[in-house]
Structure 1
Amino acid sequence: MSAQDAGVFEFIERVDNHVSIDGLLDDLLQVVAGYGFQHMIYTGLPAGDSSIAPLVKSNRFPQAWWDRYVESDYAKSDAVCQQVFSRVEPLVWSEVDERFTAIDGAARVAGEAAEHGLADGYVVPLFSRDEWLSVMSFGGADKLLLNPRDRGAINLMAIYTSSMIERRQRKQPGRARLSAREREVLLWTSAGKSCWEISVILNVSEQTVRFHTAQIRAKLNASNTTHAVVRALQQGEITLGQLADSLGDIH
């Protein structure tokens, strides 16, 4: 057994011993660095017009790149995402079929990712309790040369890591609170303002408003805006006075 293979099995033996998810991911990144990776993300994939942002379980991608990815809603034109949707199988990013790389905007996504140190990578589809399809995706600055043994090792580590994260998050549920900007967006939405109108009021892009709206629904586990307002009131995220003030702004 090679030293690299031994490192994989030693990592698997350590998985359940980690006190925190951050510690587990630090360990994983150190092991996969031997395969050419410096970054990773574990996230659900969005269906339809949904945003990917609320589906992220753990993000170790460069923050500047991820902010751009979310802001520009790149998941819809990301060739890797679209192939995973189609085939649900592990793959090296640079091996994506031409029919997906030909999608409008796909070349731009790949080019900008490379500018942020994500020239190539490897993605492993996974199934979680929260999303119908999740992935653990690893990225690096150079083109990858992964043989079948390497791919199997990465698949195995991804499966063990995601399983550990799922168990840990199930044992330690926590409700994420709305940010000040999310409360502001929710109140303007409750006043009947459209995403475009809110973007003008707050001097941000319409896509940013849509991102905040998706985050609000995810954090409150709400199916729509009305449901989100009710749950926000129930959980003390907004008050009746704030809601009355926002409704008064309609006139």
Structure 2
Amino acid sequence: MTQDFGRVCADKQDTNCRGAHADESSGACQWKYQCIRTPASIGSETNLAENGPDLTKRLSFLLSPYWRRNLRQQVSSAGVQHREVARSFDMYRAFQAFVDRLSESTDREAAQRSMADVAAALNLSCFAYLALPHEPNGAPKLISTYPPSWTAHYLRRRYEGFDPVVRQAIRHTQPFRWGLGFGPRIRSESERELFEEAARFGIRCGFTIPIHDNKGGIAAVTFATDERRIAFERSIDEHAQVLRIIAMFFHAHAGRMLGSDRVVDGVLLSPRELECLEWSSRGKSAWEIGNILGISPRTVGYHRDNARAKLGVRTIHQAVVRLIESKSRR
């Protein structure tokens, strides 16, 4: 099989040229390109003897700096195109899976998993969806993969009231980057302390997409990371528009999942964890709760410990206090 190499054909009427550029009627080279004769023309000893000088000259061209550079450029270009196609296909599959899972989800936990999966597919480590209340004293709704201890602390302290990221999401509709030293201007010491406190939980910078819907609702979807990693920045640059669509789609489906009674300070408890904590708030012991629910005291302790860990507190009493406070804000 003949291939094209170089600039100038040694024999413009080389009837042994079988490249894609050869004229079908004459078999002659129509492009002014260096051609290598087909194996049929140079395979015998006679032809090798006759064409030796020409073949030597042509083969020597393959070793020239120009040809090697040209080949590297072609291979590099083909590789880039292949990777771009592969990335586009992976993006399509990730987005389609996200849409399917979110459409089928019936609770906050399923919605959280669908968003977490598409974020991971795009090299984004964690996300937070915050829907602000319509009433002045209402509690915001939160679905996220941030550390539960941070989200509980954030909601308990009502940080959304002076968070610079939330403030910018309320005032503007365009997505923006943020972090200490860039993004929304920090106007007070309390705002600076909020950023520094978040950083201790591994949330140092991020990309936030404000959402202002037709019903007057305001929400924000944030993808965050513990530092300005190259992979994170590249993913934001490449998928900014897709992320905006993902955020709006998530917001449209989140309303039906935000009314769950199993959410305590933005943390989703399992039905059993909530039951055990509810009975604990009524003064029941592990043995009594086990008799009521038909499970062992050890299993009761397991569920209460899980609830305590999710809420980021040390004792069951603290977890019960958080449950009561959360109910009072609804």
The two structures have a TM-score, normalised by structure 1, of 0.59
Letter in 2 for 1:12: F
Q: Give the 3-state SS of the residue equivalent to 1:7 in structure 2.
A: helix
Q: Which residue of 1 aligns with 2:116?
A: 29
Q: Which residue of 1 aligns with 2:137?
A: 50
Cα deviation, residue 8, structure 1: 2.8
Cα deviation, residue 49, structure 1: 5.3
The 5 Å alignment of 1:134-153 reads: 134-143=219-228, 144-146=232-234, 148-153=237-242
Q: Please say if 1:8 is aligned against 2:91.
A: yes
In 2, are the aligned partners of 1:83 and 1:96 still within 8 Å (CA)?
no
Q: Percent identity?
A: 15
Q: Please say if 1:38 is aligned against 2:121.
A: no
Q: Which residue of 2 aligns with 1:133?
A: 218
Question: What stretches of structure 1 move > 6 A for 4+ residues in a row?
Answer: 172-175
The 5 Å alignment of 1:51-90 reads: 54-90=139-175
In 2, are the aligned partners of 1:136 and 1:158 still within 8 Å (CA)?
yes
Distance 2:161 2:137 in 1: 10
Structure 2 CA distance for partners of 1:46 and 1:163, relative to 1, 3 Å: closer
The 5 Å alignment of 1:1-251 reads: 1-18=84-101, 19-20=104-105, 22-33=109-120, 35-46=122-133, 50=137, 54-94=139-179, 95-98=182-185, 101-127=186-212, 132-143=217-228, 144-146=232-234, 148-166=237-255, 169=256, 176=261, 212=325, 215-216=327-328, 218=330
Cα deviation, residue 32, structure 1: 2.1
Per-residue CA shift, 1:135-189, capped at 9, x if unaligned?
A: 12221112152554321121122223333434xx2xx8966389859x99xxxxx
Distance 1:8 1:161 in 2: 17
Structure 2 CA distance for partners of 1:29 and 1:6, relative to 1, 3 Å: farther
Distance 1:118 1:141 in 2: 5
Structure 1: gaps of 5 or more residues:
185-202, 219-251
Distance 1:141 1:26 in 2: 21
Aligned pair count reads 186
> Which structure has the greater CA radius of gyration?
2
Letter in 2 for 1:97: P
Distance 1:48 1:174 in 2: 15
- Choose between structure 1 and 2 for higher RCO, CA contacts under 8 A separated by at least 6 residues: 1
Q: Give the 3-state SS of the residue equivalent to 1:162 in structure 2.
A: helix
Cα deviation, residue 3, structure 1: 3.6
Distance 2:127 2:187 in 1: 25
Letter in 1 for 2:148: Q
